[in-house]
Amino acid sequence: MRLRLYFISLWSIIDPIYYYLTRLRYLDSPAGSPPIFRVRLTKYKGRNVVLSDGTQIQRNDILVKIHLHNVRLLKELSGINNDVKKSLLIYQQVKESMPYLTRYIERHQRNSEIKGIIGITFINKGIKRLGFEQVDIINPFYKWYKLITLYPIHFLSSSQSFLKGNKKPCPSYLFMSKDGLFNKYGNPN
């Protein structure tokens, strides 16, 4: 437990540098708890994907890449020892952040070019209920790279009993079309 708190503290120091180097932006929100996402535009570089609503995501399409604010999330999860409660907290924070993501896209100067949103995660429960579609990462090198970069977050957020299990996490893409986002979370004002 003490080692986890040390790493979270160290990460808190490094996070502003990461934020700056990755060109991430916070979502606008009213006073109170800010959305759990940080975002940036990206050109998609993976294989072609057709989403369930017919949206085709192709190489070089403009997407909004979503990143969970992991340091903040890890601090909030540090006092919770139950993985189900942790999962519910993450689910709730993502759900509450989606309308702010909708507003961000609607107000973005490149709104007409944005086809949807993309994220990469180990999480596989509650994804469909939030409106995301999960797609396997095919490129073995990129999959390995994401496994290495996401594993510290997974390690720091998991309970000891979960870590002793033999379930191996596997990174995957999360997609949602812009229309799907607006339909599910409302076209913003």
SS3 49: strand
Place of tokens 């369930």: 52
50 forms beta bridges with 56
The span from the CA of 142 to the CA of 91, in Å, is: 26
Q: Token pair 């006073």 is at which residue?
A: 31
The pLDDT profile of the chain, 189 residues, written as one tens digit per residue, is 576 667 777 767 777 777 777 788 888 877 667 888 899 999 999 899 999 999 999 999 999 999 888 778 777 877 777 778 888 888 898 999 999 999 999 999 999 999 999 998 877 777 899 999 999 989 889 888 887 777 666 666 665 544 445 466 788 899 999 999 999 998 555
pLDDT (0 to 100) of residue 162? 44
Cβ neighbours, 10 Å, residue 50: 11
Cβ–Cβ contacts within 10 Å for residue 79, how many? 6
Segment (H or E) for 62 = strand 62-68
pTM: 0.82
At residue 164, what is the residue type? K
